[in-house]
Amino acid sequence: MNQSDEHDLGNFSDLDNGELTTCEVGDLEILVCRVDGKLYAIEDNCSHADTPLSEGRLSGFQVNCPLHGASFDVRDGAHSGPPAYTGVRCFEIVEGDSGVTVKIDNGNPEGEDGPQKGFFQTR
């Protein structure tokens, strides 16, 4: 069983539906967005091209990498297919009266199998 830490991200009440923003927790860049009134948080890094997803476009629940168009679901970090072959980390986020907190799992950040293997194009 993995432990998780909670981190205060501040207030996102002014983040409108369809908007993206980022925040840092230690060395981790987190993309935060609001879809249908609910906040979601995923790692701000494309698993295929090592590019900030926050530079891409949000369409519904999908955020698209600006480099090659890899698409990730903000609800669970799952990828929709090539060029990405793995998803990105997804974080539990809670919006309360005092602001927003995110839970970050202290387990293996790359998952059971480690990082994606194979060819990577970086910018």
Model pLDDT for residues 2-42, shown as the tens digit of each residue:
677 888 888 888 999 999 999 999 899 999 999 999 999 99
- What is the reported pLDDT for 123? 46
- What is the reported pLDDT for 119? 44
CATH architecture observed for domain 4-105? 3-layer Sandwich (2.102)
Say yes or no to pLDDT of 57 above 60.
Answer: yes
Full 3-state SS string of the chain: CCCEEEEEEECCCCCCCCCEEEEEECCEEEEEEEECCEEEEEECCCCCCCCCHHHCEEECCEEECCCCCCEEECCCCCECCCCCCCCCCEEEEEEECCEEEEEEECCCCCCCCCCCCCCCCCC
Q: Which residue has the higher pLDDT, 98 or 79?
A: 79
Domain ranges for the chain: 4-105
- What is the reported pLDDT for 97? 84
> Could you tell me the pTM of the whole model?
0.81
Say yes or no to pLDDT of 115 above 70.
Answer: no
